Amino acid sequence: MSNSDDKTNKKTLRSRAWHESTGVEGFLQRSSLKVQGLREKDYQKPIIGICNNTSDFNRCHTHFGGMVEGIKESILQSGGLPRIFNTMTMGADNTMPLGSSFMHRNLLAMEIEQTADIYSIDGLVMLGACDETIPAMLMAAASIDLPTILLPGGPSFSGFWRGRDVGSGTDFHKALEAVKRGELDLKDITSLENSLERSPGHCSTMGTAATMAVIAEAIGMAPSGSCAIPAVDSRRIAMARDVGEYIMQLVADDLRPSQIMTAEAFDNAIRALATVDGSSAAVMHLLAIAGRLGIDLQLEQFDRISTSTPVLLNLRPAGEYYMNDFFNAGGVPAMLNALGPLIHKDVITVTGRTLGEEIAGAQIEDPRVIGTLDKPISEPRGISVLHGNIAPDGAIIRAGVASPDLLVHRGRALVFEGKADLDDRLYHPDFDVRPGDIIVLRGEGPKGSGMPESGRIAVPEKLLLQGISDMIRITDSRLGGTVKQTAILHVAPESAAGGPLGLIETGDMIQVDVPNRQFNVEVSDEELAARRQRKGPSVVPPRATRGYAKLVLDSVMQANKGCDLDFLALPISKSKTTNEAAK
């Protein structure tokens, strides 16, 4: 789109309210632009905010400079004025405790929303990669509801170590277990650290970052084909240039996120989550995004769609391959096309075309990586939603990374009051842990600890030496998406909010029955009531006495509601019930 054929009616541009103001405000607005060397005709064009999330604390985003330049050049060529702004970063791997960035997802969404609210922005391009970045940006897009495109940052290249491909999550967890068994030493671990991933970009496995990038494409907010391009592949720069053109057309058409992220688009997003066997954290993210739009998305819908969706992607941690293999095999377009009638193809996307138009003709280039409905990688598994006297409001398990022999299990509870207590006792040589035990970790939910990756619990060395490589974990916290282990997560309500998880005692027997979607502690209702009376009200750790942490403590919702802040969600609209939920 050139200046001469700009379809945008400048009288409708939001930015005009800033630049045509009279009096002191208008003078200062125009003067500040002219100080930057801009002419009047420059800032009369559509102004596109480019939300950049680059930081030295975030290895997933260190390559963003080339994409930003590509977007800028394309916007200028298309008759717009690009304006870059930076936001707080969300580098999950660099936080302590690990994954503490989750609590700040809502803060990043608020920061983007407030930036867009006060500046003269007609449309937005958001660049994100690491775990909570994409969901925060989609939440912000839903709340701002200006024409917006999300461009995923792309995956790192998988590593190569001792004759085989390696990547984040499963590969290094196996190596750490091998150290405990005496099969590897710390020099081997250092060698693996040096080899794990070979470029900037998010994890090369189907962790939370990759899952949310797939979802951004499936829900229509990222351009078709943009998710799986490796971070430093030149085709990602070409995609960035396309994005510059797409956002100009979105502004001209006034096509907004609320028109793209419809109830049917959420059905597609959950279908994509199920077919890639993706990260359990995506459940909370999608619930939070839907809440920003007033869409009635229920936890049970993830289970319902998962049970009817075969797995078509063979990626670690649930499968064998890596994100660069996914890209070479045809990426998200080929996978969605292979789902055929299971997805809504008439929904609109950020390109202005329907999803069906975007994926038409996309072919599977490597059937080892992407399967078909006739020859899936696996029968349906995805996300299972569990209920019982431990989780009245639900909990989830990612069946694809769990041990099949533990999906029906009865074991003794070992209870830990927070991650520090677990680290202090569970791995001590004298601690009483036996085969078949079930680890119960509480105090790590959204109110109790901000929902870090506390569910990442290693098997104690004494059990590894007995040949036991997995056990059940139950927690109100969450688990990193690259991890392969059996974990019942997001228990709601959490213990810090008075949930019955806080009433379990070491020695109680717990029955888990995933096929029947149940898990219960074998304690009578009367005894649980007596324990509650003895224990008294839940006491939230005093760490949250000020700042954003205090805001989270006062306002965060539970995991089954997406862990957003309650004042940011819209009232549910009956007209926005998803098709699957209506069944």
In angstroms, the CA 240 to CA 245 distance is 9
Assess if residue 17 is contained within a domain.
no
Q: Of 73, 79, 9, which is closest to residue 248 (Cα–Cα)? A: 79
Q: Which residues of 309-337 are buried (b: 16+ CB within 10 A; e: fewer)?
A: bbbbbbbbbbbebbbbbbbebbbbbbbbb
| Cis amide bond preceding 230, omega within 30 | no
443 by Cβ neighbours in 10 Å (0-12 / 13-18 / 19+) ranks as buried
Q: What is the number of other CB atoms lying within 10 angstroms of the CB of residue 177?
A: 16
In a domain, 483, yes or no: yes
Q: Rounded CA gap, 51 and 115, in Å?
A: 10
Q: Which amino acid is at 254?
A: D
Is 3 part of a structural domain of the chain? no
12-62 per-position pLDDT tens digit: 899 999 989 889 999 999 999 999 999 999 999 999 999 998 888 888 888
Per-residue pLDDT for 106 more than 70?
Answer: yes
Q: Is the pLDDT of residue 582 over 60?
A: no
User: Hey, is 261 helix, strand or coil?
Assistant: coil
pLDDT digits (tens, 9 = 90+) for 160-191: 999 899 988 778 888 888 888 889 998 999 99
Q: What is the mean pLDDT of the chain?
A: 93
Total domains present in the chain: 1
**pLDDT over 80 (residue 560):** yes
Contacts for 209 with CB less than 8 Å, ≥ 6 apart: 60, 129, 130, 131, 133, 134, 155, 202, 203, 481
Angle between helices 281-293 and 133-144 (to 10 degrees): 10
- At residue 2, the 3 state secondary structure works out as coil
Residue 11 lies in a domain: no
Express each pLDDT in 298-326 by its tens digit: 999 999 999 999 999 999 999 999 999 99
Position 239 pLDDT exceeds 70? yes
Task: State the pLDDT at residue 196.
Answer: 87
User: How far are the Cα atoms of 415, 449, 580 from residue 191, in angstroms, in the given order?
Assistant: 36, 34, 48
176: in domain? no
Range of the domain at 92: 46-158+197-583
pLDDT tens digits, one per residue of 442-488: 999 999 999 999 999 999 999 999 999 999 999 999 998 888 999 99
Q: What residue type is 249 in one-letter code?
A: Q
Contact of 60 with 153, CB cutoff 8 Å: yes
pTM of the model: 0.94
Alpha-carbon distance 311 to 319, whole Å? 10
Q: What is the distance between the alpha carbons of residues 199 and 291, in angstroms, rounded to a whole number? A: 35
Give the Cα-Cα-Cα angle 424, 488, 479 (nearest 5 degrees): 65
Whether residue 190 lies inside any domain: the answer is no
Q: Which single residue is written with the structure tokens 């912000």?
A: 140
Residue 41 lies in a domain: no
pLDDT of residue 580: 53
Using only the alpha carbons of the chain, give its radius of gyration: 24
pLDDT per position as a tens digit, 393-433: 999 999 999 999 999 999 999 999 999 999 999 999 999 99
Query: 456 lies in a domain?
Result: yes
Backbone φ and ψ for 315, nearest 5 degrees, come out as -120, 145
Of 125-129, 257-261, 574-578, the poorest mean pLDDT is in: 574-578
Does the structure show a pLDDT above 60 at 154? Answer: yes
The tokens for 11 are 């009288």
